[in-house]
Structure 1
Amino acid sequence: MASRKPRIVIIGAGMAGLTAANKLFKAQKQTNAFELCVVEGGSRIGGRINTCQLGGDTIELGATWIHGIQNSPVYKIAQEINALNSDQPWERMDGFVGDSVTIAEGGFVLDSSVVDRVSSVFKSLLAFVRGKNVECDEFEVMKCGLEFESVGCFLRKGLEEFLGSVKNVDREVMRCGDWNEEMLIEAVFRKYEHMLRSYYSADDLKSIDFEAEKEFSMFPGEEITIARGYFSVIESLASVLPQDLIQSGWKVEKIEWRPSGFVGTSRPVKLLFSDGSVLEADHVIVTVSLGVLKAGILDDSGMFFPPLPDYKTEAISKLGYGVVDKLFLQLNQSYDRETDQIFKFPFLEMVFHDFDSETKDPEIPWWIRKTSSLSPIYSNSSVLLSWFAGKEALALESLSDEEILNKVSTTVSSFLSNSRNLHNGNSSSLDNYTGEEPKFTTLLKSQWGTDPLFLGSYSYVAVGSSGYDIEKLAEPLPENSSLPSLQILFAGEATHRTHYSTTHGAYLSGLREAERLLQHYKCIEDI
């Protein structure tokens, strides 16, 4: 009687899951050594990669950038499938739009010298955080080697020193309306902090571990977006797989495994699905998000039975996981038809008063005050983009389209309609603005925080955790070598110590776990 083949089940058809499936299926075709199946809880593949269309433009509701093209596996795939070229424009095809204007609440267009000075300070501080050699004559915070718990605390200390140096300069204090120079510097600095929050998907930069940030690694070279959309990479990975290998709409409710005392002829892992069906496996690669894992370890009735070992649940609990959402707005460019001109919407960088300021505009809602920009997705596009992170992102997800359109229109109008130059700043990008309120006809927003399949966007190393916790999360189960091995394996961006939070980190983790199983079965396969 022929022996039963081992069965490998991959949970999740995102970047990590499809990379593992791609590698394993190619080996299966050569060796026929095991069975393979991918189960996906949603109705689509791609996970946190979701390319869409709005107003005739290609946009990314999820992953957008290839972070460094040298040695990047994602760039290699995109290059091989000719996904980097298109006759049609796409999101961030021209990097960051150069025709930018920075306006402080109240309509004050800031001179570039003000913004550039603060930008230089912020970039120097951030480079130091990331372990780069920085000229630090200006900052005692860099010289003295003080230990900081968080990125946020370090940046705030640097700002405090910079403000002190500004106060000590004997010259006339710059003012505009209810803003003075110190307030402007702090508000512009805060704008860059909000940009960084969306980069980390964190509600507060004080939750980002200072030391761990030096471990994070980027590929060298420029950062680019994908002309044919990020989903083209997903399609390429899935193209080698038979259609029936990926089962969509199969939401896993529980994973039963045998951490000790396993006997019998059944397979050691059992997957229970939301529709009541059951699937047994010898190996399961779990690629669900860190947010889903956090929700799945809350109590004994969680995702795993029996519960995961303490060291694993502690790592999951300590690591950071946040939410960042993108808001796309379709601009009706006919709103300025009286001038017979189409207003070219600028790369608008917004500087807000703080939440507790007595001079803040009460018409601007709290959830907008931590955004930093609203801009066309490429030059001359009528589709605009703004980013929201943390509590503001969750608030955005809860609001109706009508309320969002109304509040954003009111806010943008208050910045543009009263715009005035500060110290001869350049406002050429506003020259043909008619003063009418911008009209947004429709919107599209991501909702990663409330989507039960993700419960957030991506991971970070939080204060109190470290890269060791990422490694603990990535370790397969069970630990006992006398039991059936590699019952549960873990992949996904949150399981890569140096490339967490990225699509290439997810890719590399999927490859890692596939190769772990191929080595286990002594399968040799060339890609």
Structure 2
Amino acid sequence: MKIFDTKLAIIGAGISGVSCAITLLDNKFDDFYIFEANERIGGRCFTVPCEDGFLEMGAQFIHGQVGNPIYKIANENNLIPEIYQNIIAETDDPSKVNLVNDWNGVKIDEKLLNWAQFCLYKSYDLAREHSENEDKKNLGEFIYQNYIRLMREKLEPDFFNEPKNINLINSIYQWNFKWECMYNGCASMFDMSLIDFAKYQKLEGCQIIEFKNGYQSLFETLISVQRKKFDDRIKLNHELKNILICHKLKKYKIDKCEHCQFSDQENKIVLLFANDTVVLCDKVVCTMSLGYLKENFEKILKPNWFIPDEKKKAIKRMGFGTVNKIILIYDKPFWDENLEDIYPIWPTESTQKMFESLNHTNFDLPSRWSEDICTICPTLNQKNALIAWIAGNHYHESLTNDEIKRECTRVLRKFLARNDIPEPIDVLRSNWYSNKFFKGSYSFYAFDSDSDDIKQIAEPIHINKKNLVQFAGEATHENYYSTVHGAYLTGIREADRIIAELNNTSL
């Protein structure tokens, strides 16, 4: 048994854990350790080498430039391409080609597609303006109702007399629905809260900035100035089992608790790890994913009646979904060098069938998993690879690589109407749902969430006005949840909270 005695323990070495640690070191506080369950730092930022390039298995982009601390660090340290060194708007590159095809490989009518996109964007604008005083509704239903209403205003009445036309505009909606599920990290937009949709704040500037050498270069840059001290404090392969808080209470005649087996100091927290490490500390910063908290937090913190009921409810109510990548690696590209995206517009039989499909929650159905692929696109950093993005459905995590190769090849051949497309020579895929340390990708406001749920999750657990257990991570930022920059800022927030306590000041 190895025992550490320290003032602070940070659980998790993702971006919020690292930003918390670096902020503390920059402020001359170094009496802490970081305990990471995995064998690497980075959390849901996970860059892997591949041939002469690299692939991002987790976070892919910097979202926005103005006011984004991740963009600022990346820009100042030459981590991103020169084109992004100035603030740029979302503009399409005219040389790039987007293939928006139906199941038979036929290109969707461009005029109809443009009308549909306009009506969808307008529907999202209406959703953001939705009054909090109105009845609670789900986002998916609201968007569809307004999309159809706006399409009827745009198109000739006779258009809607043909069932095939209705199925076509439903198919376009269905594709956009899946795209938004990927963007928001949910399984279905019917799971999302309409009232809270506008809480997310989109930062000005380009939303799809990629690193020249992957997100791992961001971590290397953050740590570089404090490398020696950081390396001395990071402990990998430490899976947390319990957080024990002393609860000897005279009024209940409890004079000894589980905590007391390891420490006779009531003001110390005891952390137990799967490798028999024991940590005695004054304070803990938990940076685990919301998916992990949902499944484990009430079991690992003992006694769990220290967790306020409102925090328990908030953790349960907030949404946490899965976005995965299936990376198909080929001997050489079979696609045009100007290809930007392949958008598969899956067929729908009827409005009712579409809603049944989009509202499905049974991810054990083999026939459905590939239908949740919303885009297939090249990647900047590996010329022989395509990335299939899939949201919500995690059935493929249980499949073999050969099964995935066959199904993805079938999909590509159908939507591109090309039987000569080869099977990939290799497949890499993320498995965020089945990874017990994450249980998904990122958070969203669910239909039954309360507006204050993120605030409740972020609130420290304290006794006698002393913060014992603090929380950081993307799911604890009220406006930038689901993003790397949101997670980064929450790590700094919790470090500032600790520094303020040390200085006997309040935040």
User: What TM-score, normalized to structure 2?
Assistant: 0.84
How far, CA to CA, are the matches of 1:85 and 1:344 in structure 2? Answer: 18
Amino acid at match of 2:321: G
What SS does the aligned partner of 1:66 have? coil
How far, CA to CA, are the matches of 1:148 and 1:158 in structure 2? Answer: 16
Change in Cα spacing, 1:346 to 1:18, as seen in structure 2 (3 Å) is: closer
Q: Report the CA distance between 1:346 and its aligned residue.
A: 6.1
Change in Cα spacing, 1:212 to 1:452, as seen in structure 2 (3 Å) is: same
Change in Cα spacing, 1:80 to 1:166, as seen in structure 2 (3 Å) is: closer
Partner residue of 1:375?
377
Assess if the C-alpha contact under 8 Å between 1:51 and 1:61 holds in 2: yes
How far, CA to CA, are the matches of 1:452 and 1:84 in structure 2? Answer: 32
The answer for unaligned runs of 5 or more in structure 2 is: 84-89, 256-263, 358-365
Partner residue of 2:404?
404
What SS does the aligned partner of 1:498 have? coil
The answer for unaligned runs of 5 or more in structure 1 is: 88-92, 132-141, 337-341, 419-434
Assess if the C-alpha contact under 8 Å between 1:345 and 1:380 holds in 2: no
Using the TM superposition, name which of 202-211 and 155-164 deviates more.
155-164
Alignment match of 2:232 (pick from 244, 257, 260): 244
Alignment match of 1:58 (pick from 25, 47, 54): 54
What SS does the aligned partner of 2:467 have? coil
Alignment match of 2:36 (pick from 34, 37, 40): 40
Alignment match of 2:180 (pick from 183, 186, 196): 196
Change in Cα spacing, 1:251 to 1:315, as seen in structure 2 (3 Å) is: same
Partner residue of 2:219?
234
Assess if the C-alpha contact under 8 Å between 1:496 and 1:509 holds in 2: yes
Amino acid at match of 2:346: F
Q: In the TM superposition, what are the counterparts of 1:356-395 in structure 2 within 5 Å?
A: 356=353, 365-378=367-380, 381-390=383-392, 392=393, 394-395=394-395
Assess if the C-alpha contact under 8 Å between 1:54 and 1:383 holds in 2: no
Task: Write out per-residue CA displacement over residues 139-195 of structure 1, whole angstroms, 9 at most, x where no aligned residue.
Answer: xxx89x964512112112113324544775246978xxxx82211111011101100
Alignment match of 2:141 (pick from 145, 153, 156): 153
Q: In the TM superposition, what are the counterparts of 1:125-140 in structure 2 within 5 Å?
A: 125-131=123-129
Asked whether 1:214 is paired with 2:192, we answer no
Assess if the C-alpha contact under 8 Å between 1:85 and 1:228 holds in 2: no
Change in Cα spacing, 1:321 to 1:353, as seen in structure 2 (3 Å) is: same
Amino acid at match of 1:161: R
Change in Cα spacing, 1:335 to 1:521, as seen in structure 2 (3 Å) is: closer
Amino acid at match of 1:63: A
Partner residue of 1:488?
469
Partner residue of 1:353?
347
User: What TM-score, normalized to structure 1?
Assistant: 0.81
Assess if the C-alpha contact under 8 Å between 1:328 and 1:383 holds in 2: yes
How far, CA to CA, are the matches of 1:278 and 1:28 in structure 2? Answer: 25
Partner residue of 1:428?
none
Q: Report the CA distance between 1:439 and its aligned residue.
A: 3.0
Partner residue of 2:448?
464
Percent pairwise identity? 26
Assess if the C-alpha contact under 8 Å between 2:50 and 2:382 holds in 1: no
Change in Cα spacing, 1:513 to 1:380, as seen in structure 2 (3 Å) is: closer
Assess if the C-alpha contact under 8 Å between 1:209 and 1:465 holds in 2: yes
Asked whether 1:473 is paired with 2:457, we answer yes
Q: In the TM superposition, what are the counterparts of 1:53-452 in structure 2 within 5 Å?
A: 53-85=49-81, 98-131=96-129, 147-162=135-150, 164-165=152-153, 169-170=157-158, 180-223=164-207, 224-239=209-224, 240-241=226-227, 242=229, 243-258=231-246, 261=249, 265=265, 267-297=267-297, 302-307=299-304, 308-333=307-332, 347-354=341-348, 356=353, 365-378=367-380, 381-390=383-392, 392=393, 394-417=394-417, 435-452=419-436
How far, CA to CA, are the matches of 2:334 and 2:494 in structure 1? Answer: 54
Change in Cα spacing, 1:477 to 1:266, as seen in structure 2 (3 Å) is: same
How far, CA to CA, are the matches of 1:261 and 1:511 in structure 2? Answer: 35
Amino acid at match of 1:503: V
How far, CA to CA, are the matches of 1:497 and 1:343 in structure 2? Answer: 40
Task: Write out per-residue CA displacement over residues 304-335 of structure 1, whole angstroms, 9 at most, x where no aligned residue.
Answer: 10112212111111111111101111133377
How far, CA to CA, are the matches of 2:310 and 2:322 in structure 1? Answer: 25
How far, CA to CA, are the matches of 1:23 and 1:334 in structure 2? Answer: 44
Using the TM superposition, name which of 189-198 and 217-226 deviates more.
217-226
Alignment match of 2:484 (pick from 471, 481, 503): 503
